[in-house]
Structures are given as structure tokens and as C-alpha cells.
Amino acid sequence: MTKLLDPAMLGSEEAYDDGSACRLWRSFRGDVEPRFVTESERECAELLDFYGIPWEYEPVMFVLETDETGRVSEGFRPDFYLPELNLFLEVTTMKQELVTKKHRKIRKLRARYPDVNVRLFYRRDIEALGQKLRSRGASTATSVDGLLAG
């Protein structure tokens, strides 16, 4: 856990950021501080932030299905949007049930919104991206573009 910069602002108790509380993110471009659902999401955000890659957290909900009255019956909100790459990232764990569900939603998203660029990222993909960035000395979104493509 990361100790907050100024716990005195939050009262006398020690305050810690577990990835779901307010934190100063250098490359975050959203309006509302992210509240991560999983550790993998937080780790991905830290990696993007470390390399200075601008990102937003869950900025858009895509409608996948509607009922007969036009109300949304199924939606999909990818975890991250990288505006400089025009890329949505969905982060997942290795739990097969979650992976299958997310793959199905991504297929639906691609069918309904063919121009939307979305990738499913596993924890190993996040780790591999970090290793590639370190080994190549990458520090810009331009160099990350090629890494995400392959």
C-alpha cells in the first residue's frame, strides 16, 4: 500500500491508498479519481502512470443490448481508455469464468461498434508490457503503440 502524501489532511489517523482511494496520478485524464475494483486494475494504472501514458478509468459505457422498450439490458465499460492511442483496455484475471464473460462482451462490442479499438489484458500482459517498456527504455505512448499491437 502507498502512504498518502499528506495524511494530516484526512485527520489524525494514518491513511493509506490501496488503489481504491484518492491518489495523485500523473497521467490520469479523467474527472473523478479512479476507484479500482481489482488489484490487476490498480497495477495496470500504476504501470501506465509510471511510463507517462495518458489514461482514463472506465470513461464510457457501451450499450451491447437493449430490451423491447429501448432500455439498456446489457452494457460494457472497459477498464481503461488510452486517448493518445484511441484504445480501450479491459483487464482480467485468469479465472476462466471471468475471461469467458469478458471475451463474449468484447465480441459483442466489436460487432456493434466495429470502429472501437479494444484489447483484453491479462495480468501477464501487464507484466510483459512493463518488461518490454523497461528493456526498450520506452517513455512515450508512441513506442507503446507497437507493443500493444503485438
pLDDT tens for residues 19-45?
Answer: 444 457 888 998 888 999 888 899 899
Average pLDDT over the chain, rounded to whole?
Answer: 77
Domains in the chain, CATH or no CATH each? 27-149 (3.40.960)
Residue 144's pLDDT is 55
Q: How far apart are the first and last CA of the chain?
A: 32
Which long-range contacts does 28-31 make (Cβ < 8 Å, 24+ apart)? 28/54, 28/55, 28/56, 28/57, 29/54, 29/55, 29/56, 29/83, 30/56, 30/57, 30/59
Regions of the chain with pLDDT less than 50: 1-22, 139-142
